[in-house]
Amino acid sequence: MPQPLVKICGITRAADAAAAVAAGADILGLNFFRGPRKIDYRCVADLALPAGVLTVGLAAYPAPNDQTLAAITAATGIATFQLYAAPYPAVPAHGACSVWLVAGIDSRESLQQIAPLLRALHWQPAAIVLDSRTPGQVGGTGQIFDWNWIVDARAAGELAGLPPLVLAGGLTPDNVAAAVRLVQPWAVDVSSGVEVPGQPGIKDAIKLRDFIAAAKS
């Protein structure tokens, strides 16, 4: 089984970006959407993001005129976006960028609905982020969903032909190895699971190291 890519999301400080990459992170996530880890995309330069690592911007679609994907790309150079959209856009949100669509999972039936929704789009996102669906919050909740739903959906052929899967929702250094063995995702995505307790957006260097090592083990 190939090692998954590791995305450290909710980066708010240059020190945390550097620590994540030094520990082996493949992808950094910046939240331009909402929640306690939201940052202004105009401040991305202050993060001194390390070269050679993919940066993904979390964004809403549609968005206010000053927060469109095109505006963010022009200001930051970020060209990969994790989109929170309901319903999914019928055409690509910004033709010059790569789009990851978020799918909120709260039941086995949630997975059954993904493939029909994507077929209706007539365009292919670069990845699908499977995250726990929690009313009133967007990611970073520390809540997991039943990973066996993914195993069952794959066995039933319901995930055939889908873009690569990114597993999110409640991952920690203690459970990510088990999640990878069971789900075999293309990538894993963590935010609150590698943070200092009670301090959203502030990463713990030891948790970063342990999470990435466990995910790639």
Structural domains in the chain plus CATH codes: 5-215 (3.20.20.70)
Q: How confident is the model at residue 103 (pLDDT cuts 50, 70, 90)?
A: very high
Measured in residues, the chain has a length of: 217
Longest dimension (CA), the chain: 47
Does this model's pTM top 0.85? My answer is yes
The residue ranking higher by pLDDT, 63 or 59, is 59
- Degrees, nearest 5: CA angle 141-13-83: 50
The stretch 27-35 carries a mean pLDDT of: 95
The stretch 82-105 carries a mean pLDDT of: 88
Residue 86's pLDDT is what? 80
pLDDT > 70: what percent of the chain? 97
Question: Are the C-beta atoms of residues 16 and 200 closer than 8 Å to each other?
Answer: no
